[in-house]
Amino acid sequence: MTNRRKFLQTAGMAGAATLAAPAVHGQTKIVWRLQTYAGPALAEHVIKPSIDAFNAIAGDEMEIELYTADQLVPTGELFRALQRGTIDAVQSDDDSMASPTEVTVFGGYFPFASRYSLDVPVLFNQYGLNEIWDAEYSAVGVKHISAGAWDPCHFATKDPINSLADLQGKRVFTFPTAGRFLAQFGVVPVTLPWEDIEVAVQTGELDGIAWSGITEDYTVGWADVTDYFLTNNISGAWAGSFFANMDRWNELPDHLKTLVRMACDQSHYYRQWWYWGGEASLRVNGTKMQLTTIPDAEWATVENAAVAFWDEIAAESETKAKVVEIFKQYNADMQKAGRPYRYG
């Protein structure tokens, strides 16, 4: 575990540029470097199909070179690299890439902000989050293109989790804000490069992972090194976005901006059905992990703690308070709407 990933060792999935070579602008073809938070196996689903389609349509006008987790820069440095123009675009959540905005804490898995993946695009497109994100990122020279949902957040562990007491002392790879929330239940959040997680579980450096749902566990190999999957989740969907360097974005002609947006939307749509179907199918038909569940009455302690956590975050700034109020209003509306939006 002492040898971390060597950045720039391999070329991107959709191109063979090196970091030193500048992106080409104002010439025959516009070339962007886009780095995703996802490793190679996961990127095959969460982004590569849409980038391949974009490149096929854009032809000689534009190409997006796709790089996977930590390939050009460490994930925690993605925002700074994007802001400087070292890379042109990013697919990540705000939290993982350490963006210096008031909305960063809400990226990734903000505890119990959503119950289903469709909650995320509705919150952004119909409840006002798009406007808040746009203002926050425009102020720091980054274009927020669009947000979408990924999978729910579950624990995959070496030992079974059947009660909250079983979480005590567990060293878990998770997102910064999720780790901050889970620490009150004895979880010890651990930050490591994404590529090192599987080995860290095997060597005992980690006791588990709270980074994804079961689809991702199977896809990236984590189901091969963990034995149990906790069916309780702390969020119904990961919230992540596509971002671009503001200057690079402004240089694009309008028709290419539209094409970039459509590629992002196609990526969001692919994940909606891929994760939704995969989560159910692998729980029913998967053979690699045993399912465990913390009883609802006990898990209610975690859900109640999330309400207090929301208020704690809201007290930190006016913008954070505005986002939390939107979450509260949205969830209240869904509860009043009843089935199929909310059950009980």
The CATH number of residue 296's host domain is 3.40.190.170
Cβ neighbours, 10 Å, residue 303: 13
Report strand pairing: 142-149 vs 239-245. antiparallel
Q: Maximum distance among all alpha carbons in the chain?
A: 62
| The pLDDT of residue 71 | 94
Q: Which domain holds residue 90?
A: 30-108+121-150+238-279
For 155, residues 6+ apart whose C-beta sits below 8 A from its C-beta are 161, 167, 172, 208, 209, 210, 228, 229, 230, 232
| The pLDDT of residue 3 | 41
Query: Do 232 and 251 lie in a common domain?
Result: no
Query: Do 71 and 170 lie in a common domain?
Result: no
Instruction: Return the residue matching tokens 């954070």.
Output: 320
Domain count, the chain: 2
Q: Are 115 and 95 in contact (CB under 8 A)?
A: no
Has residue 1 been placed in a domain?
no
Q: What confidence tens digit (pLDDT) does each residue in 96-133 have? A: 899 999 999 999 999 999 999 999 999 999 999 999 99
Has residue 16 been placed in a domain?
no
Query: Do 231 and 325 lie in a common domain?
Result: yes
Has residue 166 been placed in a domain?
yes
Query: Do 69 and 180 lie in a common domain?
Result: no
**Alpha helix (H) ranges present in the chain?**
40-46, 48-58, 78-84, 119-126, 129-138, 176-182, 197-203, 214-220, 246-251, 254-285, 296-314, 318-337
Closest residue by Cα to residue 242 from 20, 117, 87, 113: 87
Query: Do 180 and 227 lie in a common domain?
Result: yes
Q: How far apart are CA 217 and CA 226, in angstroms?
A: 9
Query: Do 173 and 301 lie in a common domain?
Result: yes
Has residue 132 been placed in a domain?
yes
Query: Do 41 and 58 lie in a common domain?
Result: yes
Query: Do 169 and 58 lie in a common domain?
Result: no
What Cα–Cα distance (Å) separates residue 268 from each residue in 145, 193, 225, 313?
12, 25, 29, 27
Instruction: Return the residue matching tokens 């391999």.
Output: 10
Report strand pairing: 208-212 vs 188-190. unpaired
Query: Do 94 and 45 lie in a common domain?
Result: yes
My answer on whether omega of the bond before 340 falls inside 30° of 0, hence cis, is yes
Has residue 13 been placed in a domain?
no
Query: Do 169 and 318 lie in a common domain?
Result: yes
Has residue 23 been placed in a domain?
no
Has residue 56 been placed in a domain?
yes
Has residue 22 been placed in a domain?
no
List, for the chain, all residue ranges whose pLDDT scores fall below the cut of 50: 1-18, 20, 22, 26
Query: Do 307 and 159 lie in a common domain?
Result: yes
Q: How far apart are CA 89 and CA 58, in angstroms?
A: 16
Query: Do 230 and 91 lie in a common domain?
Result: no
**Overall size of the chain counted in residues:** 344
Q: Both tokens of residue 240?
A: 């992540």
